[in-house]
Amino acid sequence: MSGGVDSSVTAKLLAEKDYDLSAIFMRNWDTRDESGTDVGCEWEKDWEDVQRVCQKLDIPCQMIDLSKEYWLRVFEPAVETWESGNTPNPDVWCNGEIKFGALFDHLPQGTQFLATGHYARKAYHPSNHRPKLMRASDQTKDQTYYLSSIPESSLDMALFPLADVSKTQVREIARAGRLHNASREESMGLCFIGERRRFNDFLGDYVAPRPGPILAIDTNVELGQHNGLWTYTIGQGSGLPGLTRKLFVAAKDHEKNAIYVALADHPALSTASLTSNDFRWIWRDEPPSAAFSRDGFRASVQVRHRMPPVPVRVRQRWTSNTVHITFDEPHKAVAQGQIAVLYDGDHCLGCGTINETKNLAQV
């Protein structure tokens, strides 16, 4: 439980059934590592909310400190990615490495299921009976993108009670059950940054500034300066003052420490294909067999959470976990370091970090 309305309603729905329940609150960030104090992060308020809900539902609860595991397995790798100038998504790896990973080492003995407030469904293959991660019925709230890195063994133990429940219904259930957090706002982004700081200000505590030029992509004319490649992502507005037309970040040169900007319709902003060098299929030992054929197989991909899936062709190398994904139609603003998640209809197949991209200017 997080203290939010989704996990609270999940607990309420399960409490109404014949389950022997206990609740777990994960503390994933030690704010003392950041500033020497406990200010800024709202984990104490979240923990208080969890305890209030559990007291009302008569469910025992405990807090488990996974801040060390989060630091080593999620945050440090993300910082390395930012330092390289790329754009990671720590929330995806948090689910695979922590919530459906390290947490399992701390579950009470005899635990059969781990239920979360994610909007997702689980189904079983009709012939081999292996678990499948499926989109939620309310696809406007679907969170399978963030769950795409969890291993099959963890998925098999997972329960998603909100699979067929809309956000509106969740709040109605919370209000009807007189849960105090029924109207609590959704948390967005990395919770431990708090409300007090902009993201780049926070990240500046961990990634050293490295100023460099911002250049026009076709002329190499210097238009401004940046404080580090990590301060911009592909497709982001340049924010340069005094321009008659808006320019967007189209490319980064790591050797020159340069950022290139272009107009919105420039071919450098349209991605034709991408490559992931360590793709993680949820069924680790059984990737789609057609992936190894010359033509690969048809699927859809998301490279961001709130984007509609787009059609692609997928191929995998026989000798590695390298997956090559080609868009049917060029896709705007795909950044290295982001997560590419593959789907077969509503079935989430797995994910991988984007290591290479090829845009229309390179084809």
Residue 297 has pLDDT above 90, yes or no: yes
Whether residues 244 and 273 fall in one domain: no
Contact 26, 66 (CB under 8 A): yes
* 66 plus 189 within the same structural domain: yes
- Any idea what the CATH number is for the domain that residue 74 is in? 3.40.50.620
Mean pLDDT of 253-263: 97
Q: pLDDT tens digits for 96-149?
A: 999 999 999 999 888 999 999 999 999 999 999 999 999 999 999 999 999 999
Looking at 161, 193, 225, which one is the last position of a domain? 193
Look at residue 18 in the predicted model and tell me its pLDDT: 83
Asked whether residue 77 falls in the same domain as residue 18, the answer is yes
Pairing of strands 258-262, 212-216: parallel
CATH code where residue 281 lies: 2.40.30.10
- Same domain for 105 and 37: yes
Q: Are 48 and 186 within one domain?
A: yes
Q: Determine the pLDDT at residue 260.
A: 98
pLDDT of residue 285: 86
Exposure string for 173-187, b = 16+ CB within 10 A, e = fewer: bbeebebebbebeee
Q: What are phi and psi of 149, to 5 degrees?
A: -100, 0
Tens digits of residue pLDDT in 8-51:
999 999 999 989 999 999 999 876 555 544 444 578 899 999 99
Is 289 part of a structural domain of the chain? Answer: yes
| Same domain assignment for residues 259 and 349 | no
Average pLDDT taken over every residue of the chain: 92
pLDDT of 298-326, one tens digit each? 999 999 998 999 999 999 988 899 999 99
User: Is 132 domain-assigned?
Assistant: no
Do 16 and 100 lie in one domain? The reply is yes
pLDDT tens string 202-254: 888 899 999 999 999 999 999 999 999 999 999 999 999 999 999 999 999 99
pLDDT score for 32: 58
Q: Give the CATH number, domain containing residue 253.
A: 2.30.30.280
How many domains are contained in the chain? 3
Q: Is residue 199 part of a domain?
A: no
Span 278-297, average pLDDT: 92
Instruction: Tell me what pLDDT residue 75 has.
Output: 95
Q: How far is CA 184 from CA 3, 143, 210, 233, 324, in A?
A: 9, 19, 39, 31, 41
Is residue 143 within 8 A of residue 118, CB to CB? The reply is yes
CB environment 250-259: b (16+ within 10 A), e (fewer): bbbeeeeebb
Catalytic residues: 94, 191
Domain that holds residue 297: 269-359
pLDDT at 190: 62
pLDDT value of residue 196 = 43
- For residues 260 and 353, the answer to whether their CB atoms sit within 8 Å is no
274: in domain: yes
CA distance 340 to 129: 26
Does some domain include residue 135? no
**Same domain assignment for residues 35 and 184:** yes
Residue 204: partners with Cβ closer than 8 Å, 6 or more residues away:
none
Task: Band the pLDDT of 362: cuts 50, 70, 90.
Answer: confident
